[in-house]
Amino acid sequence: MIKLDKVSKKFGTGVFGLSDISFDIEKGEFVFLVGPTGSGKTTIFRLLIRETLPSEGSIFVNGWDIVTLPKQKIPHLRKKVGVVFQDLKLLSDRTILENILLPLDVAGVSLNEAKVKAEEVLTQVGLISHKDKFPIQLSGGELQRVAIARALILSPDIILADEPTGNLDPATSWEIVKLLSDINEKGTTILMATHNLDIVKSLAKRIIELEKGHLVNDNKNNKEEKEKKSHPKKEEEKEIKEKETGEEKKEEKHETL
């Protein structure tokens, strides 16, 4: 689904944002991308939607060769990859519904059809009652869910979530992660960048760890072993539930990298 092969990204200043990164992600996987700020997580996301090009190496997303992808094909790629941006990138002068409708309009879906779909997705993320509000009237967690809804609306094969729990309290963070893993269970590949170790540790998922632009750890094989041992899905759900009920106590202990 996603394949990076010896990817390096050198910035204009001569600094390497990423160096020699290789990994590949199968269809339907849920992968955490962890690492401190500046480690290159966002750069990987930007590379994956061809917001920027790598200096070296090759990238494949959903069968597309990102490096050689012609410019006019970029919109096709971006319609197939839903992104939850770190800064959300919602349009402040449009209502929640209009924000969600935007990708459908871009894709040329008729308005009536689009409205049905948008309301369906808003119901899924639990925001249907807020559909006519403007982004400024919503809380951080709600906005995050709007961003997820927008990433979800075109039923993409891949969702990239860049720190979707970035500045949320643990309770809300868990809701967001729960939402993403529900989506993942329906077959969507998810790559989520985070530095919320609590979440990462509690969900037995594959973790790709970056540090200063280098890949320092990828527990692809570990995870497979774990999966053999137990029924991960049930375990996860139990864990999520535990987290949801016990967050208040955990809040103080909540650690970030």
Residues in touch with other proteins (CB under 8 A)? 49, 51, 72, 74-79, 83, 85, 89-91, 93, 102-103, 106-107, 111, 150, 154
3-state class (DSSP) for residue 144: helix
Name the residue nearer to other proteins (CB basis): 25 or 114: 114
Residues 86/163, Cβ–Cβ less than 8 Å: yes
Name the residue nearer to other proteins (CB basis): 52 or 167: 52
The distance of closest approach from Cβ of residue 161 to other proteins in the complex, given in angstroms and rounded to an integer, is 14
Could you give the CA distance from residue 215 to residue 6 in angstroms, rounded to a whole number?
Answer: 11
Name the residue nearer to other proteins (CB basis): 98 or 182: 98
The distance of closest approach from Cβ of residue 62 to other proteins in the complex, given in angstroms and rounded to an integer, is 13
The distance of closest approach from Cβ of residue 86 to other proteins in the complex, given in angstroms and rounded to an integer, is 12
* Token pair of 254 as six digits: 């909540």
* Token pair of 54 as six digits: 């790598």
Name the residue nearer to other proteins (CB basis): 93 or 225: 93
The distance of closest approach from Cβ of residue 189 to other proteins in the complex, given in angstroms and rounded to an integer, is 17
For the chain, what is the total number of helices (H) and then of strands (E)?
9, 10
The distance of closest approach from Cβ of residue 79 to other proteins in the complex, given in angstroms and rounded to an integer, is 4
Residue 79 burial class via C-beta count within 10 angstroms: exposed 0-12, middle 13-18, buried 19 and up = middle
Sheet holding 56-61, edge to edge: 16-25, 2-10, 56-61, 64-65
The distance of closest approach from Cβ of residue 48 to other proteins in the complex, given in angstroms and rounded to an integer, is 12
The distance of closest approach from Cβ of residue 155 to other proteins in the complex, given in angstroms and rounded to an integer, is 13
**Cα 19 to chain centroid, rounded:** 22
Among residues 73, 5, 30, 36, the alpha carbon closest in space to that of 196 is found at: 36
Name the residue nearer to other proteins (CB basis): 90 or 125: 90
Residues 206/46, Cβ–Cβ less than 8 Å: no
Could you give the CA distance from residue 78 to residue 175 in angstroms, rounded to a whole number?
Answer: 26
Could you give the CA distance from residue 79 to residue 143 in angstroms, rounded to a whole number?
Answer: 21
Name the residue nearer to other proteins (CB basis): 83 or 240: 83
Name the residue nearer to other proteins (CB basis): 32 or 45: 45
